Amino acid sequence: MSGREVGDGTWAVILGASSGTGAAIAEAVAQRPGLNVFGVHRGRYAEQAAEVERRVRAQGRDVVLRQADASTPEGAEAGADALLASAGPRSVKLFVHSIAGASVGHFLSTGEDRLHPRRIQRTFDCMAHSFVYWAQALVARDLLAPEARLLGLQNPLDQTHLGNTGLISAAKASLEMYVRHLAMELGPRGHRVNLLKFGTVMTPALRHVYSPEALARLEEAHAKLNPAGRMCTVEEVARFVTVLVGEDAAWFNGATIDFSGGMTLRLLDLVLNP
């Protein structure tokens, strides 16, 4: 069956599809359950985006990678129009929100790390508001297939108070509320909206931000944090997303699914037993 037939429900929409978790999810769902991929990325990792496209096509799937800013209302509207032209109505089985673009810093600082209003707005658009923008755009164009799955990505920062991550924690808390309310609104239509929480994974963005020495310290810290003695991988996250697309996971709705491998349990343990 062609990926562009009306109502076939064989497409995954992945925001942030060029690298890291988004790229891994694109490749995984192309293999199982065999979805075509419509991805949006900013173009920062052009080589990785080309590799994602090659690997998805190698699975025999259609792929459309769009270079654009997916975090704004205008970006969501334009992206949904392009998706409608490529895939047709009721074609989206899976929507994954994997946009990076957060600011770290302090709210009351007088230095360079002060979180000014523009940085606050940008972080909330990237990490929270854009989930709603895209949900609205997909519904308005009748792009969601029967029993579609909408998935946001969360991290354990809502259970910690790292000094410079307050803005990220606040945005992710908003995302969680959006997921719950959209689950209620879309549930009667047969759709499911959930949030997947996992710990730090090694991505190109992380390697860009941190030096090799800092990355080594990060991996060492996570070896202590995680009961398994290591960091989670993007491939492990992606494989679990393929499970969430399946019928066996159809009763999840409005849930924050803990896929941290026990990392949050270990956080408390390290405080009590340093």
Q: In terms of residue numbers, what domain contains 171?
A: 11-272
Q: Does residue 198 form part of some domain?
A: yes
Q: Is the pLDDT of residue 2 over 60?
A: no
Please tell me whether the overall predicted TM-score, pTM, comes out greater than 0.85 for this model: yes
Residue 212 lies in a domain: yes
Number of domains in the chain: 1
CB 95 within 8 A of CB 13: yes
Q: Could you tell me which residues come within 8 angstroms of residue 157 by beta carbon, excluding any fewer than 6 positions away?
A: 165, 168, 169, 172
Label the pairing between strands 256-258 and 192-197.
parallel
Give a yes or no: residue 64 inside a domain.
yes
- Evaluate whether residue 262 is within a structural domain: yes
- Per-residue pLDDT of 178-216, as tens digits, reads 999 999 999 999 999 999 999 888 887 777 767 889 888
Confidence band of 269 (pLDDT split at 50, 70, 90): low
Has residue 126 been placed in a domain? yes
In the chain, count H helices and then E strands. Answer: 10, 7
- Spatial distance between the Cα atoms of 129 and 19, rounded to a whole number of angstroms: 21
Question: Is residue 256 scored above 70 in pLDDT?
Answer: yes
Is the pLDDT at 1 greater than 50? The verdict is: no
Residue 6 lies in a domain: no
Give the pLDDT confidence of 44-97 residue by residue, as tens digits. 889 999 999 999 999 999 999 999 999 999 999 999 999 999 999 999 999 999
Q: What is the mean pLDDT of the chain?
A: 91
Say if 3 falls within a structural domain.
Answer: no
Task: Give the pair of three-digit tokens for residue 12.
Answer: 């995954």
CATH number at residue 152: 3.40.50.720
Query: 54 in a domain, yes or no?
Result: yes
